[in-house]
Structure 1
Amino acid sequence: MKTRVVVTGMGVCAPNGISLSEFAASLKNGVSGIRFHPELEKLKFGCQIAGKPQIDDVDLNEYFSKIQLKGLNASGVFYGVIAGKDAWKDAGLASTSNETPDWDSGIIFGTGILGVDKFREAIYQVDAGNVRRLGSTSVIQTMASGISAYLGGMLGCGNQVTTNSSACTTGTEAILMGYDRIKNKKAKRMLVGSCSDSGPYVWGGFDAMRILPRNYNNKPGAASRPMSASAAGFVPGSGAGAMVLESLESALERGATIYGEIIGGDVNSGGQMGGGSMTAPNGEAVQRCITNAIQDSGIDPKDIDAVNGHLTATAKDPNEISNWSQALGRFGIDFPFVNSFKALFGHCLAAAGSIECVGTLLQFRENQIFGSINCEDIHPEIISMIDASKIPQATIEFEPKIIAKASFGFGDVNACIIFKAYSQKQP
């Protein structure tokens, strides 16, 4: 019998919501978390807007000890711990209270750049000959696996505790890695997710590439325009998303709430060939990733009710819709509903997949498809492939049974995951 893997807890630290309830309300009501940042204006960025979680009102003492907070200067760590611990709590789990690790629980929590502000601080201290002033936490704050190390110690997990990194595919890939571990009976539950730092040292490279919108600094809420003819580039974002994955058997034993089920997925690469490059996807690889995920799930492409795309608000959006359409063999009015949450909080880079997967699953709970704002002028190439009614611009009432979610990242890497509304019957 195949081990069924379900989602029993979720947490999020997003530009448009910290708690799960706030995040859900923002997605339902089209509330944007993209804001103007005077710091970026001062540094002469072309794009002076971004999506950044508003954690000033969060009591960090609920998430960190006083010792852990001392000298902590890594926004990604803050976001990841908030989302991760909230997901753990939401699942009805507690950190181990004795000296024995929880051998059945592990963590796969990805990131791209972690602790960049701490690293900058360290560089200045070293260059000034003040090595002894770096502090004892500079290493853990700047190593990529710092986020999983923090969470692993806080929760007492004794199974695999690690960090993955695959650019914008990171979060979705982390979920699939945790899914595989439980499916193969190597763990009962896994905390999975990803985080991304905020700030000019993370976003500056993209501004230099001139792939961020420069004409919306005075109207940030309208800047991120996935699937729109007037899309002018992606808005940089940051934050974290987290899920607790668990074997169905374990979840039922605990009487846990079940948000949904993972029934399959796939990861691959286009090899930066066939039209693929460091920054552009190989269309054939994207289609293969989607097709393989569907085959792994044991479903028919026509079973998919909705797609939450990568859809970053660049010139590549029509290409992505074309790849979905070709892979699913569905066109026009037959195409599933499709949306992109990046219109509400920007492209959260390494955190994008995990935050968007949390939003995707919330659609099962709410019996809705959340709307995609800022695409009132749908790109004509997209309209030539699918019916405009399949791109809801406001939240609609609908009971999805199966939703496909995909992420595509720099380096021509892809991940696609298939979520299913939970039922006691086998998928």
Structure 2
Amino acid sequence: MSRRVVITGLGVVAPNGVGLDAFTHAIKNGISGIRKDPDLERLQFSCQISGKPEISEELSLNYFTELELRNFNSTGILYGVIAGMDAWKDADLPILNSEEPDWDSGTIFGTGTSGIDKFRESIYKIDELQTRRLGSTAVAQTMNSGVSAYLGGKLGLGNQVSTNSSACTTGAESILMAYERIKSGQANRMLAGSTSDSGPYIWGGFDALRVCTFKHNESPEQGSRPMSTSASGFVPGSGAGAFVLEDLETALARGVRIYAEVLGGNVNSGGQRGLGTMTAPNPIAVQKCIKDAIAHAGIHADDIDTINGHLTATTKDSLEIENWSEALGRRGIDFPYINSLKSMVGHCLSAAGSVESVAAVLQLHQGFIFPNINCEDLNPEIESIIDVLRIPRKLIEKELNIIAKASFGFGDVNGCLILKKYTV
């Protein structure tokens, strides 16, 4: 018998809200988390604004001991552990105190890099012959699997505990990998998600590539402009999103709230062939990813009510809309509603797919479509494909049944999730 997989817990650390309540309020009201960044200004970046979650030391101490926080400066692990443990708690799951781990529960928690500030610190201390002053957690902070290792230890997970990494597609991929593990019967429950480091040493390369906006250093909240004529590049961001995925029978037996059902999805690559490059998507692969996700989920293109797009506020936004239209065979007023969370949080890199997927699940569960901000001057190429009414600029209260969530990443890699409102 095929197992159904549902989402029973959510956690989020975003530039415009840490925790589900703050984040939900922000996305419903179009509240931006993008601010002037004094570090980027001091270092003379072209883009001097960013989306960076605000985490106090007091909040950190709810998840880490004082000893653990000594010499700790991995923002990605910090964000991931907070989001992951919040999702676990939200799913009404206990933290085991027994000697034996929970064999039925695991985590696949992705990242792009880990502990980049700790790497920088290591370089300086090693060069100054102070290697022993790095501290005992230097390895755990800088290994890519550090975030899943911390979560596995804090929650006592005994099933698969690993980290995936696929650039901007990381979050969507982690959810699909967790879904497949439960679907195949190898786990009853998986904590999925992704996180990203923050700060100039992770964002500097993108600034050097000239893919970040430099036109809104004095008006940060207007800086991220997906689907806009005046879009001039993405705003760097960071954070983490987390999900407890669970076998439906296990969830029903526990009597817990079910946010949504994961129907399926697809990941693929354009192979950097045709129009695909390290930084540009291959349209054929993007369209195939969407079509294959729909087929895998067992639905029709017409069933999709809303798309939560990748839409980064670059010149590729109109191409993404065209790819969606071609893949779905839908144009004009027949096109689904579409929105981009990046208008409020920037591009959270390896955390983008998971933070945005939290927003997608909340829309399904609560029945709303969050507004796109900063796209009053809609790109005419986009307007020629879909009706302007399908790009909401104000909150829409509406019951939704199916959402498609996509992420398209560096390296010409793609991921598309199909999520459904849970019904018996």
Q: Is the structural similarity TM-score above 0.5? A: yes
1:178 counterpart = 2:202: no
d(CA) in 2 for partners of 1:4, 1:377: 42
Cα deviation 1:49-68 (Å, max 9, x = unaligned): 00000112652221012332
Map of 2:45 onto structure 1? 45
Deviations 1:317-375 (A, max 9, x none): 00000000000000111000000000000000000000000000100222111111011
Q: d(CA) in 1 for partners of 2:13 and 2:347?
A: 14
Structure 1 regions of 5+ residues with no counterpart? none
SS of equivalent to 1:22: helix
Match of residue 118 from structure 2: 118
Query: Does the residue aligned with 1:423 lie in a helix, a strand or coil?
Result: coil
Report 1:333-352 matches (<5 A): 333-352=333-352
Query: How far, CA to CA, are the matches of 1:177 and 1:245 in structure 2?
Result: 11
Question: CA 1:58 to 1:326, structure 2 compared with 1: closer, same or farther past 3 Å?
Answer: farther
Q: 1:340 to 1:58 in 2, by over 3 A?
A: farther
- Give the residue type in structure 2 aligned to 1:38: P
Distance 1:31 1:248, change over 3 A: same
Counterpart of 2:365 in structure 1: which amino acid?
R
Query: Using the alignment, how far apart are the partners of 1:363 and 1:157 within structure 2?
Result: 29
1:136 maps to 2:136: yes
Aligned to 2:35: 35
Mapped partners of 2:364, 2:293: distance in 1: 20
| Distance (whole Å) between structure 1 residues aligned to residue 74 and residue 355 of structure 2 | 19
State TM-score, norm by structure 2. Answer: 0.99
Q: TM-score, normalised by structure 1?
A: 0.98
* Paired position in structure 1 for 2:404: 404
Within the alignment, does 1:10 sit opposite 2:10 as a pair?
yes
Q: Deviations over 1:114-153 (max 9, x none)?
A: 1000110111010011111111110110000000000000
Aligned residues: 424
Classify 1:118/1:175 alpha carbon distance in 2 versus 1 (closer, same or farther; 3 Å).
same
* Aligned match of 2:418: 418
- State the Cα RMSD in Å: 0.7
CA displacement, residues 269-323 of structure 1 (integer Å, 9 cap, x when unaligned): 0000010000000000000000000000111100000000000000000000000
The aligned runs of 1:269-288 (5 Å cut-off) are 269-288=269-288
SS of the aligned residue for 1:118 comes to: helix
Deviations 1:92-135 (A, max 9, x none): 00111200000000000000011000110111010011111111
Q: Distance in 2 between matches of 1:150 and 1:264?
A: 28
1:411 alignment partner, SS class: coil
> Which position in structure 1 is the counterpart of 2:23?
23
Cα deviation 1:404-423 (Å, max 9, x = unaligned): 00000000000000000000
How far apart, CA to CA, are the structure 1 residues paired with 2:238 and 2:294? 30
CA–CA separation in structure 1 for the residues paired with 2:84 and 2:213: 31
Cα shift at 1:398: 1.0
Quickly say closer, same or farther: Cα 1:359–1:58, change in 2 above 3 A.
farther
Q: How many Å apart are 1:43 and its aligned residue?
A: 0.4
- Runs of 4+ aligned structure 1 residues displaced above 3 Å come to none
Identity level (%): 62
* Distance of 1:340 and 1:86 partners within structure 2: 24
Paired residue secondary structure (2:17): coil
Q: Which amino acid aligns with 2:90?
A: D
Q: What is the match of residue 234 of structure 2? A: 234
Q: Which residue of 1 aligns with 2:257?
A: 257
Secondary structure of residue in 1 paired with 2:216: coil
State the secondary structure of the residue aligned to 1:62.
coil
2:218 alignment partner AA: N
Q: Distance in 2 between matches of 1:304 and 1:117?
A: 42
Amino acid at match of 1:151: L
List gaps (5 residues or longer) in structure 2.
none
SS where residue 12 of structure 1 aligns? strand
Report the residue type matching 2:170 in the other structure. Answer: T
Q: Secondary structure at the match of 1:59?
A: helix
- Answer yes or no: is 1:214 the counterpart of 2:214: yes
1:308 aligns with 2:308: yes
Superposition deviation, residue 251 in structure 1: 0.3
C-alpha distance in 1 between matches for 2:163 and 2:366: 31
Rounded to whole Å, the distance in 2 between the matches of 1:110 and 1:182 is 18
Structure 1: how far apart are the matches of 2:302 and 2:222?
A: 33
